[in-house]
Structure 1
Amino acid sequence: MEDFYETRIDGVDGEIVGLFEVFDGHGGARAAEYVKYNLFKNNQNRDAGSTASTAVLVGDCLLVANVGDSRAVICRGGKAYVVSRDHKPDQTDERQRIEDAGGFVMWAGIWRVGGVLAVLVTGS
């Protein structure tokens, strides 16, 4: 099990605020667990990684952010709506971002980041 989640709901200045986070670890659970507890700290562990999908609900305003290929969706009236954009190495801008950061992307039957991490490329 490499996945972790965190949910917090509290009142701030008379408004209900909810924080919802999902982390999918790669190369083991260590990075996902670390991110759960240290989201705003810098993770220098290079042999493991994690995607993150987060949502903050303030009153009736929903803010969503993601890193990696963990897609955030909401359900309204029984229908699912995608509210984030996956980051996958087959995308020109994502490949460039990886290379600009000193990484590399290669094709080995599937796209791999750093020659190791397999990111499945599926339709949206």
Structure 2
Amino acid sequence: MGAILDTPHTDKTTENGTGNDLRYGVCSMQGWRVEMEDAHCAQVGLPDLDDWSFFAVFDGHAGAYVSAHCAQNLLKTILQTEKFRQYPTAVETALQKIKLKIRDGFLTLDEKMKQLPEVESGEDISGSTAVSALISPSHFFFANCGDSRGVLSRDGVTAFSTFDHKPVNPIEKDRIQRAGGSVMIQRVNGSLAVSR
């Protein structure tokens, strides 16, 4: 865990916008951390996809470098994945292809970040969870990595929510153990509370 202040910074930064029949609001607060470690991305109208929008929150850990990098680069990386915009016209095939390209974007950005000089040298040890929503005129595409959660609510009832990646979940625990790690006191190797 990062350094903690004696009293929290409770000043809030807000942002809002409209477009594509959407209204959004963002509010962030530093809290108890020595620096603001979290970041976000809110974009209405994407390059060559004017009627699409993208929203994401990145919960930084042990610093702000990785979360800020993700906020600036995840959408670009997803859009640059091979043939993202050239999905087939058949709806079910198109949906599956878009899901795969979002996943590819997350994994590609992760690989690129490992090669950043500050990360590769060990100078920066920060990390980040991520939760995002890519919104087309007809669909919501939620994606998450870590224990940040996205929820779609209709009339006050949860219609959909993402699945947290926590070490104690049986699927995550099995994946961690197969990779040579362990889960102790509900943490990866007794230390990290997030499994991805």
Alignment of 1:106-121 (within 5 A): 106-107=184-185, 111-119=186-194
Identity %: 40
1:21-49: CA deviations, max 9, x gaps? 11001112222112112323322237321
- 1:57 paired with 2:57, answer no
Residue equivalent to 2:39: 4
- Report whether the alignment pairs 1:33 with 2:68: yes
Larger % of strand: which? 1
Deviations 1:53-112 (A, max 9, x none): 1111100311111100001012322344442100100012112223444544322xxx22
**TM-score of the two chains, using structure 2 as the length reference:** 0.51
RMSD after superposition? 2.4
- Residue type matched to 1:25 in 2? G
* Residue 16 of structure 1: aligned partner: 51
Normalising to structure 1: TM-score of the pair?
0.76
The more displaced of 18-27 and 5-14 is 5-14
Gaps of at least 5 residues in structure 2 are 1-35, 78-108
Greater shift in the superposed pair: 14-23 or 62-71:
14-23
Contact 1:15-1:58 within 8 A present in 2 as well? no
Gaps of 5+ in 1: 120-124
| 3-state SS, counterpart of residue 9 of structure 1 | strand
Figure out how many residues of one structure are paired with residues of the other and give that number.
116
Q: 1:11 to 1:49 in 2, by over 3 A?
A: closer
Q: Aligned letter for 1:71? A: R
Task: Give the secondary-structure state (helix, strand or coil) at the position aligned to 1:2.
Answer: coil
Structure number with larger C-alpha Rg: 2
> Is the CA contact (8 Å cut-off) linking 1:26 and 1:117 kept in structure 2?
no
